[in-house]
Structure 1
């Protein structure tokens, strides 16, 4: 069958470029010490930044939610699937972000991918094709796909290049302008210059959509994310935070001015035409927000920052480069796909799970080890992985 033959050829081409991806099966809860494919490993690859994914209080809250609300929601939010658990979570998230958003309201989504598709397609919809969308060059795939699905004219500006963005904004005559950016870039760990971006958006009348997937719960004194970290507040902000990373459960939310959220309820197709997430998840997430914003969350964030500093001090690389990041994402840039794969395999042989990230997730010739730290790691864990990476670099041929 020619159709299958064509796909096999494409798969073989991925193999030749060391680009085929393979899944591993975890047999234990998300935590630093896991059993994967029957083998015990020390993992540095999850986005469970605060170590909440296996927290006993969240496990108890999820059980309580399932007992109270059942397992499934049964329908989309606008039919009959919007439960009291969803409503309470949205109210809590809106209150949590209210210091940074005027007349804040929040909307819960099944995934961050869906939330980003919803925001970008709905915000540009009123202007039709008379909308300009300005996208950061290192944005997440969900933002790229949301931009493609919108009817807007999409213009990509270089990473962190505020001057280039201002030129684009200044020359735009579109009825609707939207600037969209990650806050913490998922493969580099650096932060977008959000204060400068917001200033440009307010000056030129553009929405600023911030994907804070890797900042929510981690950044800021109370874990309110990038908006708290930079002390931002504006009606021009549209904020997306995921709830399956630092929050430890699943789903995502969009928070913005109440008018923006009401528009999403009425016109965001990824929200309208999908079954609502299980109410039990929303119920458990109420406990997540409590943990993030409370004393325990502060302790976990402080410990995480200590681990970041420890790792950076312990890595002594000669050929590879530790990317300058102050977040839990610590990338070691290697370059070639095959060398990155060999490095990851060598670490795996030592019981360390540190993934090799390759194109198209990252630009060509920037394959890397992506080390992600969690507040559930110990100082001994970090010492172990740092010493191993130092030794592997010396032993893996260029």
Structure 2
């Protein structure tokens, strides 16, 4: 945790910031800022952390229950609470004033997702402070994971591998998808997961676009795409997407699978420090078009303590890949004159020598 504070304060110093306010809400994809600096996962509503340049950080949560829970796990020892949003913000405003930061410049992380009234109140009560959006430099810090963080990500990936192997044990024609997903959820929860997203596509033929699991009894000759994203007990997310055939795989789908796997491989080989995100996308788009396939515009995202880590793998992303980044690639490809399509995916850690798959389950056509 001291490494994180040191990196953030170095960026704060460069930006002439006297403090940093980090905002999060208890929703996957938007909860990571507070978790990243405090180790506390919000259970409801929203929370803030104040990180001054020259004193200890303060965690602000809604309600006494969250305060009690935070004390059990948080690296931050100064934890303050209130039952009402105004009270929590009042605590934050009082802390800023008590630290004599009223005539300084303070950055706000996730400023564009803060409730309007929260930001309005801060601006009115602390009118002598210059507030600026500090989300970008916060993201730059959290994108590059330490070796300790990578080990925690590998732990989550191992749990997901176990979930997929569980599927192979119970999946067969005649079984309802809800039964399968129920067993997967039990496996995940038993291994410390409490946030997850399970998506799928199924049938003898489909576009490969993923949706919610449903009551569907599998039949021979069908195909199944299974995707699971989960936040492990350490708070770090990972994802895997695999393809399953009920009996011998349709020849056209096998060819489509092999083409999609090559498109994914082209992207993985481009995940190198110094390469721009957009160039990974261009490489994968070119690989798909070379094989006569359509490909979706959103090809992946980052992973960390936030689902997506506020890093989209899209052609407009100019950010450079850095060592320690963790990126999920999940290309969706489709035959141009057919409804047949497929999605494959895995999560990778960027090293100086290339990309390391966090999953030990091979990407292949699994037959049940």
TM-score of the superposed pair, with normalisation by structure 2: 0.24
Structure with bigger helix share is 1
TM-score of the superposed pair, with normalisation by structure 1: 0.23
Structure with bigger strand share is 2
Determine which structure has greater relative contact order: mean sequence separation of CA pairs < 8 Å that are 6+ residues apart, divided by chain length.
Answer: 1
